[in-house]
Amino acid sequence: MKNIAQLILMLSIILLASCQQKKSDPASIIEQKVDSVLKLMTLEEKIGQMVLYTSDWDITGPTLKKGYLEDIKNGHCGNIFNAHTTAYVHKLQKIAVEESRLGIPLLFGYDVIHGHKTIFPISLGESASWDLVAIENGARVAAIEAAASGLNWTFAPMVDISVDPRWGRVSEGAGEDPFLGSRIAEARVRGFQGKDNNLADTLTLLACVKHFAAYGAPQAGRDYNTVDMSQRVFLDTYLPPYKAAIDAGAMSVMTSFNELDGVPASGSKYLLTDLLRGKLGFKGLVVTDHTSINEMVNHGVADNDAEAGLLAVKAGVDMDMQGEVFFKYLKKQVDDGLVEEKLIDEAVRRVLRVKFMLGLFDDPYKYCNEAREKQLVYAPEHLEAALDMAKKSMVLLKNNNNVLPLKKGEKIAVIGELAASTRDLLGSWKAAGDWDFMKSTLDELKLYNGEKNIFFAEGCKTIGNDRSGFTQAMATARKAEKIVLVIGENWDWSGEAASRTNIKIPGVQTELLEKLKALNKPIIVVLMNGRPLDLTRENELADALLETWYAGTMGGKAITQVLYGEYNPSGKLTMTFPMNVGQIPLYYNAKNTGRPIYLPNDKDKYKSKYIDSPNDPLFPFGYGLSYTTFAYSDIKLSSNELAAKGDLKATVRVTNTGKYDGEEVVQLYVRDLVGSVTRPVKELKGFEKIRLKAGESKVVTFTITPDMLAFHRLDMTYGTEPGDYKLFMGGNSRDVKEAGFKLK
Ligand code: NOJ
């Protein structure tokens, strides 16, 4: 039963809005409604809207910590995360709407990163598809299923650029490149929030761009560690994907755990107010990462939580995730005059604004329709989309003597713990993904090739040094014509708090590969992992290497279809795979240095190189093979000059020279040869994924405009500089055709 205050609230919203109908654009109507609610709120209720608490899970399902239900009732908690299922969300929303004084509905957030129930490949894997339509659709499916399960807010997309595979969270991002990362960030926002950012649509979610900012550059790849970089690198390399996501309409941003230039992000007025709201024009809400306000005490910029809270609110934080800092201290701080209530009003306005945009005041239960949940979760078209994306995400790293694709009916030994695993296929942030529902790679291989043609042995565990299964693995392999060895990292070896100092395949898996090699049978290594690994040894031993990441709910089927050539692999790496951990950070868009080497065996000692390792990566950015081959013609330019307001067309003919139909990602890079500051040796500026039948060729054209060449110049202004440029086109960042032009 609604109480009188709630009725007054609803009436005053309606009245105010209808009195001011002259200003009838939807945005200003929302502003009027926000104002009308704000006027009714006590300071405590306002602070309640700035509070986000987690739901726990036990064997009975979602539950709340003691006290949180009361907090919702009292208006002390306006937002919940980690709670889902329509029934539970309905229960909590009912308390907020019917039992709190003003009846303001709750936001329900969750880490819906690469699917909700139907899980897609991990984000790094999705990025390797270079298929923006499929990536957008993946986010769309995730939003539909999550919204059908009661949620209205996802903590995604994660757009942190990273060049350090020791950092476990590279699995959650889109790799090392700002251009590709930006396009993917936009695609994901469109997918979550819907094409026209219609948050009121019951099947869209509020997106949350994270982690602002530069979280992907922790020193030594150790999670949560210090970030320190030049302002120029920050603006040119790390900022673009956040900006792209905000320009695409993302209405929430999450702060990062790290400091940047000595200031923790959750207390950085520069990041949250001057840059994000000022320069980038962001109008949505800023939520902290989990207890990152409190962590400012450990960072050493505040004496205690209360002081940290002041830093955060003054920097521009609107919502405290789980820290209980605003809840405990903010009211007294306003009463004591330490912070102006005006600032609180601004924060609450931003929270209420998104609640209105989501349509929660019109229908707080709009996400709680059990019939819809049943109909949409695991819908056949969602599983189909997950299968499609899983296949597109896989990267063929090596395929000597065309050992792949496998032929139906061949006797195959499948070895490795990961082959029989379903949980690992889901990767980290599996949301509500359910591995009991799934088939493993082994199950799918048996289904495709027949039980009698697949022999399985675990061989060894993914982690640990138990070799007792080796003998059986050898015996199993002896019976087969080819060996498929499925190795890599367990799912929880990447993601948050999963940094490594050694990025080789863990345990004794490589030793098992060495043993199997002695059998002189073709060995196909199927990799499951969430980061670039040092695969130098595996590359020496295996005949084929297929990178499958953690491929999601349909992963087993996708791996099978790729291995048997039902799908011709087309994925390309979005992070460089180094030869060894000591080369890190290793990325394609590096600087030339004053002492570059142009040949790997350069004899001059005083060059920028190692005495114990080449500089080159094992597999460069943009790299990935196909069962067919592609040839590139020389580049044709429409002109050798690009006018300051003009454009230039660069064309290349790509021919499928092999026996299979296939897809190729045609990549465009440029290099600014002389600048007021040093410039990268290559920068991705465009790409197009094309499909070519065997023998077919296509002309691919890119239009280059001066704005694509802009950067932060010596005086920190953003723009171009006239001069000579190189332009490259090819199927990866290393093997390219080259041309040159002059920017006037
Ligand atoms: C901490 C993680 O850093 C962040 O990415 C996530 O969204 C929150 N926890 C909430 O689960």
CA distance 648 to 587: 28
CA distance 128 to 131: 8
Type and span of the H or E element at 460? none
Section 155-159 average pLDDT? 98
**Quick check: is 289 in a domain?**
yes
Cβ neighbors of 599 (< 8 A, separation 6 or more) are: none
Q: Please check whether residues 236 and 174 belong to one and the same domain.
A: yes
- How many residues in total does the chain contain? 744
What DSSP line would sit under 656-710, residue for residue? E-SSS-EEEEEEEEEEESS-SS--BS-EEEEEEEEEE-TT-EEEEEEEE-GGGG-
289 flagged as catalytic: yes
Cβ neighbors of 305 (< 8 A, separation 6 or more) are: 293, 294, 297, 323, 325, 328, 329
Report pLDDT for 21. 53
Q: Is 111 in the pocket of ligand 1 (CB under 6 A)?
A: yes
Show the tokens assigned to 238: 């790390």
CA of 206 to the centre of ligand 1 (A): 16
Section 391-407 average pLDDT? 98
CATH of the domain at 697: 2.60.40.10
- CA 216-388-696 angle, 5° bins: 105
**Quick check: is 243 in a domain?**
yes
Q: Is 160 in the pocket of ligand 1 (CB under 6 A)?
A: no
CA of 665 to the centre of ligand 1 (A): 32
Instruction: Name 286's bridge partners.
Output: 253
Show the tokens assigned to 102: 């003003």
Q: Is 289 in the pocket of ligand 1 (CB under 6 A)?
A: yes
Q: Please check whether residues 233 and 351 belong to one and the same domain.
A: yes
**Which of 225, 254, 266 best tests ligand 1's pocket when mutated (most atoms within 8 Å of CB)?**
254
Taking CA atoms only, the protein residue closest to ligand 1 atom 7 is 155
Q: Is 547 in the pocket of ligand 1 (CB under 6 A)?
A: no
CA of 182 to the centre of ligand 1 (A): 21
Among 339, 372, 405, where does a domain finish? 372
Q: Is 210 in the pocket of ligand 1 (CB under 6 A)?
A: yes
What DSSP line would sit under 677-692, residue for residue? S--BS-EEEEEEEEEE
**Which of 153, 159, 169, 290 best tests ligand 1's pocket when mutated (most atoms within 8 Å of CB)?**
290
CA of 233 to the centre of ligand 1 (A): 25
Taking CA atoms only, the protein residue closest to ligand 1 atom 1 is 290
**Quick check: is 154 in a domain?**
yes
Q: Please check whether residues 333 and 482 belong to one and the same domain.
A: no
CA distance 568 to 166: 30
Report pLDDT for 25. 87
CA of 702 to the centre of ligand 1 (A): 38
Q: What predicted TM-score, i.e. pTM, was given to this entire model?
A: 0.97
- CA 159-418-481 angle, 5° bins: 125
**Quick check: is 326 in a domain?**
yes
Taking CA atoms only, the protein residue closest to ligand 1 atom 11 is 111
Region for residue 378 given its phi and psi (left: phi exceeds 0; alpha: psi -120 to 50; beta: otherwise): left
Answer whether residue 5 shows pLDDT above 50: yes
CA of 185 to the centre of ligand 1 (A): 17
What DSSP line would sit under 342-374, residue for residue? HHHHHHHHHHHHHHHHTTTTT-TTTT--HHHHH
**Which of 57, 212, 496, 499 best tests ligand 1's pocket when mutated (most atoms within 8 Å of CB)?**
496
CA of 260 to the centre of ligand 1 (A): 19
Query: What domain count does the chain have?
Result: 3
Among candidates 171, 175, 115, 114, which has minimal Cα distance to 530?
171
Section 110-118 average pLDDT? 98
End-to-end Cα, the chain, rounded Å: 71
Q: Please check whether residues 543 and 678 belong to one and the same domain.
A: no
Report pLDDT for 23. 59
**Which of 111, 172, 321 best tests ligand 1's pocket when mutated (most atoms within 8 Å of CB)?**
111
CA distance 14 to 248: 30
Taking CA atoms only, the protein residue closest to ligand 1 atom 4 is 289
Among candidates 566, 573, 570, which has minimal Cα distance to 549?
573
Predicted confidence (pLDDT) per residue in 518-554, tens digit: 999 999 999 999 999 999 999 999 999 999 999 999 9
**Ligand 1 atom closest to Cα of 256?**
3
Answer whether residue 582 shows pLDDT above 50: yes
Per-residue pLDDT band at 24 (split at 50, 70, 90):
confident
Show the tokens assigned to 94: 């009912």
Answer whether residue 151 shows pLDDT above 80: yes
**Ligand 1 atom closest to Cα of 211?**
5
**Ligand 1 atom closest to Cα of 155?**
7
CA distance 389 to 478: 34
Q: Please check whether residues 152 and 269 belong to one and the same domain.
A: yes
CA of 444 to the centre of ligand 1 (A): 33
**Ligand 1 atom closest to Cα of 210?**
5
Q: How far is CA 97 from CA 32, 93, 254, 615, in A?
A: 21, 6, 26, 61
Instruction: Name 648's bridge partners.
Output: 704
Q: Please check whether residues 527 and 553 belong to one and the same domain.
A: yes
CATH of the domain at 478: 3.40.50.1700
Task: Work out the percent of the chain whose per-residue pLDDT is above 90.
Answer: 94
**Quick check: is 38 in a domain?**
no
Choose, from 164, 236, 289, 543, the residue flagged as catalytic.
Answer: 289
Show the tokens assigned to 461: 């565990």
- CA 103-108-112 angle, 5° bins: 170
Q: Please check whether residues 343 and 258 belong to one and the same domain.
A: yes
Taking CA atoms only, the protein residue closest to ligand 1 atom 3 is 289
Q: Please check whether residues 427 and 291 belong to one and the same domain.
A: no
Q: Please check whether residues 271 and 304 belong to one and the same domain.
A: yes
**Quick check: is 22 in a domain?**
no
**Quick check: is 20 in a domain?**
no
CA distance 698 to 685: 20
- CA 188-171-51 angle, 5° bins: 65
CA of 228 to the centre of ligand 1 (A): 22
Show the tokens assigned to 290: 């989990």
CA distance 258 to 264: 6
CA distance 692 to 268: 50
Predicted confidence (pLDDT) per residue in 259-303, tens digit: 999 999 999 999 999 999 999 999 999 999 999 999 999 999 999
**Ligand 1 atom closest to Cα of 208?**
7
CA distance 359 to 367: 10
Predicted confidence (pLDDT) per residue in 632-660, tens digit: 999 999 999 999 999 999 999 999 999 99
Name residue 504's amino acid: K
CA distance 250 to 185: 10
Name residue 405's amino acid: P
Domain extent at residue 362 = 45-372
* φ/ψ (deg, to 5) at 451: -50, -40
CA distance 315 to 278: 12
**Ligand 1 atom closest to Cα of 156?**
7
Among candidates 565, 556, 620, which has minimal Cα distance to 590?
620
Report pLDDT for 1. 42
**Ligand 1 atom closest to Cα of 215?**
3
* φ/ψ (deg, to 5) at 708: -70, -15
CA distance 478 to 486: 17
**Which of 54, 110, 155 best tests ligand 1's pocket when mutated (most atoms within 8 Å of CB)?**
155
Q: Is 169 in the pocket of ligand 1 (CB under 6 A)?
A: no
Q: How far is CA 461 from CA 415, 422, 491, in A?
A: 11, 15, 13
Among 340, 372, 404, where does a domain finish? 372
Q: Please check whether residues 411 and 315 belong to one and the same domain.
A: no
Task: Work out the percent of the chain whose per-residue pLDDT is above 70.
Answer: 97
Q: Is 155 in the pocket of ligand 1 (CB under 6 A)?
A: yes
Per-residue pLDDT band at 7 (split at 50, 70, 90):
low
Predicted confidence (pLDDT) per residue in 63-108, tens digit: 998 899 999 999 999 999 999 999 999 999 999 999 999 999 999 9
CB-CB contact of 364 with 96 (8 Å): yes
CA of 271 to the centre of ligand 1 (A): 19
**Which of 110, 210, 223, 292 best tests ligand 1's pocket when mutated (most atoms within 8 Å of CB)?**
210
Which residue bears the tokens 């004591």? 336
**Quick check: is 172 in a domain?**
yes
Q: Please check whether residues 566 and 637 belong to one and the same domain.
A: no
Show the tokens assigned to 255: 């702060």
Name residue 351's amino acid: V
CB-CB contact of 688 with 743 (8 Å): no
CA distance 354 to 105: 11
Q: 405 preceded by cis ω (within 30°)?
A: yes
CA of 289 to the centre of ligand 1 (A): 6
Cβ neighbors of 332 (< 8 A, separation 6 or more) are: none
Mean pLDDT, the chain, integer? 96
Show the tokens assigned to 698: 């296509």
CA of 290 to the centre of ligand 1 (A): 6
CA distance 660 to 243: 40
CB-CB contact of 63 with 55 (8 Å): yes
Residues 548, 549, 554, 558, Cα dihedral to 10°:
-10
CB-CB contact of 255 with 288 (8 Å): yes
CA of 293 to the centre of ligand 1 (A): 14
Instruction: Give just the sign of the alpha carbon dihedral 657, 658, 663, 668.
Output: negative
Q: Please check whether residues 564 and 665 belong to one and the same domain.
A: no
Predicted confidence (pLDDT) per residue in 692-726, tens digit: 999 999 999 999 999 999 999 999 999 999 999 99
CA distance 69 to 56: 13
CATH of the domain at 213: 3.20.20.300
Among 556, 581, 606, where does a domain finish? 581
Instruction: Name 630's bridge partners.
Output: 656
CA distance 502 to 523: 24
What DSSP line would sit under 509-558, residue for residue? HHHHHHHHHTT---EEEEEE-SS----HHHHHH-SEEEE-----TTHHHH
**Ligand 1 atom closest to Cα of 158?**
5
Per-residue pLDDT band at 6 (split at 50, 70, 90):
low
